[in-house]
């Protein structure tokens, strides 16, 4: 499947920015953090991708993707599978052009994410214990109905859409950035970042971070082979057991490093983020903070941007996670 797909270019990302600007209030803030800067002896800024209408970066992709649908696709509606944030992104995008969206989610999906999708007019089907099973069911359902299945990752327009965050930082907000750290699950966000970095001829390093409890993309990137891996992370936005070949291909020789952190470090990072900057993140949104903390010796003296990719945690989860 990935052979047919063409990776997006910088021009595609620029085009996406012109379009999604009409719907989303952009750019999202880039906030300097004195606390984290002091802690790591670096100049640290946070790209607050949690400050969008769906509280996660993915909505950039959903809005752009939806804007490019044909009348026929629009008519037949969209189907996708998600642990929550991609589903919100597609539901938001579909609503913005008056299309229907059906989102397949694992049975233990985050209640706030389900509620948000339904509020946007999306139809939720809770099927499958883990994301990978929901994904298979969604694909079957789309074929049965003749609806447009939206691949969560293997979709160049989603990558072009989410890449707009990189354009905001590297072109406008802080062109003198040395290092960007961001969470990686399926790899759309990171693919967007390397596309923009290389398209601009920018010298910033880009490091991805993932949970050691769901290391599928990390292991595929390191080994160059696509294999299923255990998928047990509490960072649900990153929790996939199957790597996505299209993203791995884009990232293979362009990502500068890929860091694994433990779920326990991720929860510590959510607390650190709160204590140092009073920014609230869901675990997936704090993974790059955990990676920075682990690799702090390599940050010294650099201008670092850390992407906070989302904040969709329920209150019950926060009470549980933020308590020491
Ligand atoms: C989806 C998601 C990620 C991972 O993004 P990919 O593009 O799949 O690598 C990270 N953080 C949050 C909050 C997410 O929802």
CB neighbours of 168 closer than 8 A, spacing ≥ 6?
Answer: 26, 27, 28, 30, 47
pLDDT at res. 3: 52
Tokens representing 127 are 């099927």
**What number is the average pLDDT over the span 25-45?**
98
Q: Would you say the CB of residue 113 lies under 6 angstroms from ligand 1?
A: no
| pLDDT at residue 2 is higher than 80 | no
Which ligand 1 atom is nearest residue 189's CA?
7
- The single residue listed with the structure tokens 């940050």 is 299
Q: Cα dihedral sign for 2, 154, 109, 270?
A: positive
78-81 and 148-149 beta bridge pairing: parallel
Q: 261 pairs with which residues across the strands? A: 211
Q: Cα dihedral sign for 303, 309, 311, 314?
A: negative
| pLDDT at residue 322 is higher than 90 | no
Please give the model's pTM, rounded to 2 decimal places: 0.96
Whole-number mean pLDDT of the chain?
A: 95
Q: What share of the chain is helix, strand, coil (3-state, %, to 5)?
A: 50, 15, 35
Residue 306 to residue 259: CA distance in whole angstroms: 14
Residue 268 to residue 283: CA distance in whole angstroms: 9
Residue 131 to residue 235: CA distance in whole angstroms: 12
Portion of the chain with pLDDT greater than 70, in percent: 99
Portion of the chain with pLDDT greater than 90, in percent: 94
* pLDDT band of 132, cuts 50, 70, 90: confident
pLDDT at res. 96: 95
| pLDDT at residue 4 is higher than 90 | no
Best of 53, 57, 240 to mutate for ligand 1, by most ligand atoms within 8 A of CB? 57
Q: Would you say the CB of residue 58 lies under 6 angstroms from ligand 1?
A: yes
Which ligand 1 atom is nearest residue 50's CA?
13
pLDDT at res. 1: 46
Q: Would you say the CB of residue 54 lies under 6 angstroms from ligand 1?
A: no
Residue-wise pLDDT tens digits, 63-109: 999 999 999 999 999 999 998 999 999 999 999 999 999 999 999 99
Residue-wise pLDDT tens digits, 268-311: 999 999 999 999 999 999 999 999 999 999 999 999 999 999 99
Q: What's 52's DSSP letter? A: S
Q: Where does the chain show beta strands of DSSP type E? A: 30-32, 43-48, 78-81, 101-105, 123-126, 148-149, 179-183, 205-211, 257-261, 303-308
């Amino acid at each position: 499947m990935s052979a047919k797909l063409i990776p997006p270019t910088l021009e595609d990302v620029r085009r996406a920015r012109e379009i999604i600007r009409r719907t989303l209030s952009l750019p999202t803030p880039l906030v300097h953090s004195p606390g984290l800067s002091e802690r790591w002896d670096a100049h640290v800024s946070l790209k607050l991708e949690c400050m969008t209408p769906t509280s996660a970066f993915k909505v950039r992709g959903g809005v752009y993707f939806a804007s490019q649908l044909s009348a026929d696709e629009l008519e037949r509606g969209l189907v996708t599978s998600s642990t929550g944030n991609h589903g919100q992104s597609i539901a938001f995008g579909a609503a913005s052009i008056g299309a229907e969206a059906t989102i397949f989610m694992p049975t233990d999906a985050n209640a706030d994410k389900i509620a948000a999708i339904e509020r946007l007019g999306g139809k939720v089907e809770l099927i499958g214990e883990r994301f990978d099973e929901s994904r298979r069911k969604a694909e079957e359902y789309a074929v049965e109905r003749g609806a447009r299945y939206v691949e969560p990752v293997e979709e160049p327009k989603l990558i072009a859409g989410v890449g707009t965050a990189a354009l905001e930082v590297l072109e406008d907000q802080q062109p003198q950035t040395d290092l960007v750290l961001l969470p990686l699950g399926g790899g759309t966000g990171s693919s967007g970042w390397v596309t923009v970095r290389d398209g601009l001829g920018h010298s910033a390093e880009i490091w991805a971070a993932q949970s050691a409890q769901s290391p599928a993309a990390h292991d595929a990137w390191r080994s160059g082979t696509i294999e299923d891996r255990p998928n047990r992370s509490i960072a649900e936005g990153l929790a996939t057991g199957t790597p996505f070949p299209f993203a791995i291909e884009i990232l293979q020789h362009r990502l500068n490093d890929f860091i694994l952190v433990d779920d326990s470090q991720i929860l510590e990072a959510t607390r650190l983020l709160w204590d140092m900057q009073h920014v609230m993140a869901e675990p997936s949104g704090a993974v790059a903070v955990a990676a920075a903390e682990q690799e702090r010796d390599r940050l010294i003296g650099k201008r670092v941007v850390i992407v906070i990719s989302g904040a969709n945690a329920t209150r019950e989860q926060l009470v549980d996670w933020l308590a020491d």
